[in-house]
């Protein structure tokens, strides 16, 4: 089968998050079992290019058994990357099915145009919070206007798709406002256990960390709850349980970095915190392996991969009850969930895990069982392939 995967970002922009990893996992697994996979994307590059988009990236690159085809972004606004060259690129190629990941993206719009023109079935996945992301209501007037302008495009993409793959029941309910239930298929997100293995990279030596550490990994954005985390850490910084504990914050700036650093300075937390900007993937994996546990106090998530990646190393996570999180990880079964934007409750949860090593280990082991049996990329891709095959058979 020839499959076109379409997404706003791909390698080497690993900090872009779930959309990128979902497409990479599908491409890697399916290409290894004989399918022809091409990822159509932009030249986004957080790691190697200060201006974000990198014209020096190859327009076509073979990675393993799949191909990435990139076209240059003419302009971008609020993560809406406009690369018109992708239309011609896709029209010149042949494939049996198109899977667009990220419904709000310009790339999904192009994929839909190509699908209609070439009469090839279109499958879509969102991963971006179609109607529930806080930015949709709390952002600037300019951004809200742009979001309103996107609505006809979103309806166009959804109406022309043959199937919609969602990660959980929470996301399914969102799409039921746009389409019939028969169009929606639940495929749980999964992580690549083959990638998430022991690293020879000495993380603590590289970053001169002498203490044990708690890990936050995510975009530097208010939606990730970093403000809540900093306030929480400030509340308990003098507690004896934190005497030899550091908080490591890893990620890429999405507009909150300066405010974050200012808050850390105001709370005099610089000695207790380490910020690692634009971390390479190997350092992220090593951080998972060496941390005590993760803290991800998000105000919004759809189906987060970061807790699942931590589970691969039997590390539990403190997160929140916001939106799709409880549909992905389970309170007191493999994690601790607290109310979002509640620093005191988050502080109590941190101290709870630091004071109860057995509970921390038990939750981590349960998390590992979850990803080993259900939430792994192999199972996710097999289920996704089943949707592809059923759709082609029907058509």
d(CA 336, CA 321): 9
Q: Are residues 159 and 254 in the same domain?
A: no
Helices marked H in the chain: 18-32, 85-91, 106-118, 135-138, 141-160, 169-175, 203-206, 226-236, 257-266, 281-290, 306-311, 343-355, 357-373, 377-394
Among 138-152, 319-333, 334-348, 373-387, the least confident range: 138-152
Q: Angle, to 10 degrees, between the axis of helix 257-266 and the axis of helix 226-236?
A: 10
| Domain hosting residue 141, numbered range | 2-190+376-394
Q: Are residues 234 and 119 in the same domain?
A: no
DSSP 316: -
Task: Find how far residue 380's CA is from the centre of its chain.
Answer: 15
Q: Are residues 152 and 216 in the same domain?
A: no
Please determine, for residue 50, whether its predicted confidence score (pLDDT) is greater than 90: no
Confidence of residue 351 (pLDDT cuts 50, 70, 90): very high
Planar angle of CA 202, 205, 206, nearest 5 degrees? 80
298: three-class secondary structure by DSSP = coil
The answer to the question of residue 277 being in a domain is: yes
Please determine, for residue 146, whether its predicted confidence score (pLDDT) is greater than 90: no
What pLDDT shows up at residue 149? 81
Percentage of residues in the chain having pLDDT higher than 90 = 82
- Find the mean pLDDT for residues 94-98: 97
What pLDDT shows up at residue 318? 98
Q: Are residues 155 and 248 in the same domain?
A: no
At 100-119, the pLDDT tens digits run 999 989 999 999 999 999 99
What pLDDT shows up at residue 81? 93
Q: Are residues 212 and 86 in the same domain?
A: no
d(CA 6, CA 22): 11
Q: Are residues 228 and 323 in the same domain?
A: yes
Please determine, for residue 136, whether its predicted confidence score (pLDDT) is greater than 70: no
Q: Are residues 161 and 247 in the same domain?
A: no
CATH number at residue 74: 3.40.50.2000
For 71, 176, 263, 292, the CA distances from 87, given in Å and listed in that order, are 10, 29, 44, 46
Counts for the chain of helices (H) and strands (E), in that order? 14, 16
d(CA 13, CA 280): 10
**In the predicted model, what is the mean pLDDT of the chain?**
93
Confidence of residue 227 (pLDDT cuts 50, 70, 90): very high
What pLDDT shows up at residue 143? 73
Query: What would the 3-class secondary structure string for 122-190 be?
Result: EEEECCCCCCCCCHHHHCCHHHHHHHHHHHHHHHHHHHHCCEEEECCHHHHHHHCCCCCHHHEEECCCC
- Find the mean pLDDT for residues 286-299: 97
In this prediction the pTM is: 0.87
Looking at the structure of the chain, the number of domains it has is 2
What pLDDT shows up at residue 49? 57
Q: Are residues 316 and 360 in the same domain?
A: yes
Pair of tokens at residue 278: 């634009």
Confidence of residue 360 (pLDDT cuts 50, 70, 90): very high
- Find the mean pLDDT for residues 297-303: 93
What pLDDT shows up at residue 137? 67
Alpha carbon dihedral 310, 314, 315, 321, in 10-degree steps, equals 70
Q: Are residues 290 and 253 in the same domain?
A: yes
Q: How many CB atoms lie within 10 A of CB 333?
A: 12
Q: Are residues 169 and 241 in the same domain?
A: no
What pLDDT shows up at residue 141? 80
Please determine, for residue 15, whether its predicted confidence score (pLDDT) is greater than 80: no
């Amino acid at each position: 089968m020839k499959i076109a995967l379409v997404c706003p970002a791909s390698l080497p922009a690993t900090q872009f998050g779930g959309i990128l990893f979902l497409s990479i996992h599908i491409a890697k697994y399916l290409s290894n079992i004989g399918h022809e996979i091409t990822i159509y994307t932009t030249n986004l590059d957080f790691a190697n290019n200060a201006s974000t988009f990198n014209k020096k990236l190859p327009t076509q690159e073979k990675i393993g058994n799949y191909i990435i085809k990139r076209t240059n972004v003419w302009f971008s606004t609020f993560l809406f990357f406009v690369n018109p060259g992708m239309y011609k690129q896709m029209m010149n190629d042949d494939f049996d099915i198109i899977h667009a990941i990220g419904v709000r993206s310009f790339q999904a719009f192009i994929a839909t145009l190509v699908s209609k023109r070439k009469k090839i079935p279109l499958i879509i996945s969102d991963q971006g919070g179609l109607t529930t992301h806080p930015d949709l209501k709390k952002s600037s007037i300019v951004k809200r206007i742009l979001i309103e302008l996107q609505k006809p495009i979103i309806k166009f993409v959804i109406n022309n798709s043959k199937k919609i793959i969602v990660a959980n029941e929470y996301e399914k309910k969102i799409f039921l406002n746009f389409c019939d239930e028969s169009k929606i298929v639940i495929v749980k997100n999964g992580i690549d256990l083959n990638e998430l293995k022991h690293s020879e990279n000495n993380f603590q030596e590289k970053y001169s960390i002498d203490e044990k550490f708690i890990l936050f990994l995510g975009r530097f954005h208010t939606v990730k709850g970093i403000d809540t985390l900093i306030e929480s850490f400030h509340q308990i910084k003098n507690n004896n349980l934190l005497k030899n504990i550091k908080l490591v914050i890893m990620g890429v700036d999405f507009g909150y970095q300066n405010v974050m650093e200012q808050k850390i300075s105001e709370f005099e937390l610089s000695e207790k915190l380490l910020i690692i900007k634009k971390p390479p993937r190997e350092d992220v994996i090593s951080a998972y392996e060496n941390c005590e546990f993760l803290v991800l106090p998000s105000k919004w998530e759809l189906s987060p991969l970061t807790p699942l990646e931590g589970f691969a190393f039997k590390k539990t996570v403190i997160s929140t009850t916001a939106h799709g999180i409880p549909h992905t990880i389970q309170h007191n079964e493999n994690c601790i969930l607290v109310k979002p934007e509640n620093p005191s409750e988050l502080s109590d949860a941190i101290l709870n895990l630091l004071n109860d090593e057995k509970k921390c280990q038990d939750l981590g082991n349960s998390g590992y069982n979850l990803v080993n049996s259900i939430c792994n990329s192999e199972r996710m891709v097999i289920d996704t392939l089943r949707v592809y095959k059923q759709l082609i058979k029907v058509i």
